[in-house]
Amino acid sequence: MHLGLGLFAKSLVKICHCIESTVVDAQNRSMQLSTRNISLQNFIEVEEKIRYDPHPDNPNSWTVCKQETSIKIKPLSALASMAEKIEQRCVEKFQSNSAKGREVMERMCKYLEAEASGISA
């Protein structure tokens, strides 16, 4: 899908620095990640929360991943007409990156599982 965003708007989507915090609760076997942007805050607010917990039906083998994302364009008179297009482009990029992040997490879990199997053998 081509949204016809100009060069300025495309650069807004590509250049964004974020802060991420990660909390690991070893006792409850859970992990929570929280990410928010620190650049371009006058134009856009992005916040993502991901939580990994043992699945209640099979806590020793399955994991539940809950992901929440909020993307808000701050309306400025010059950008008001483009806000929806920019938000949509951000959502698409974010969805793509989220899928990559889940793939990495799954690979890490498989690696750790293989390592644990090798240690216990």
Q: What is the mean pLDDT of residues 23-43?
A: 88
- Whether residue 95 contacts residue 71, with contact meaning beta carbons closer than 8 Å, is answered with no
Q: How many other CB atoms are there within 10 angstroms of residue 26's CB atom?
A: 7
pLDDT digits (tens, 9 = 90+) for 46-102: 888 999 999 999 998 898 989 888 888 776 655 666 667 777 777 777 777 777 777
Which two structure tokens, joined as six digits, stand for 81? 């007409």
User: 53 phi and psi, to 5 degrees?
Assistant: -135, 155
Q: Rounded to two decimals, what is the model's pTM?
A: 0.60
Dmax (CA) for the chain in angstroms is 65
Which two structure tokens, joined as six digits, stand for 104? 């990495």
Percent residues over pLDDT 70 in the chain: 76
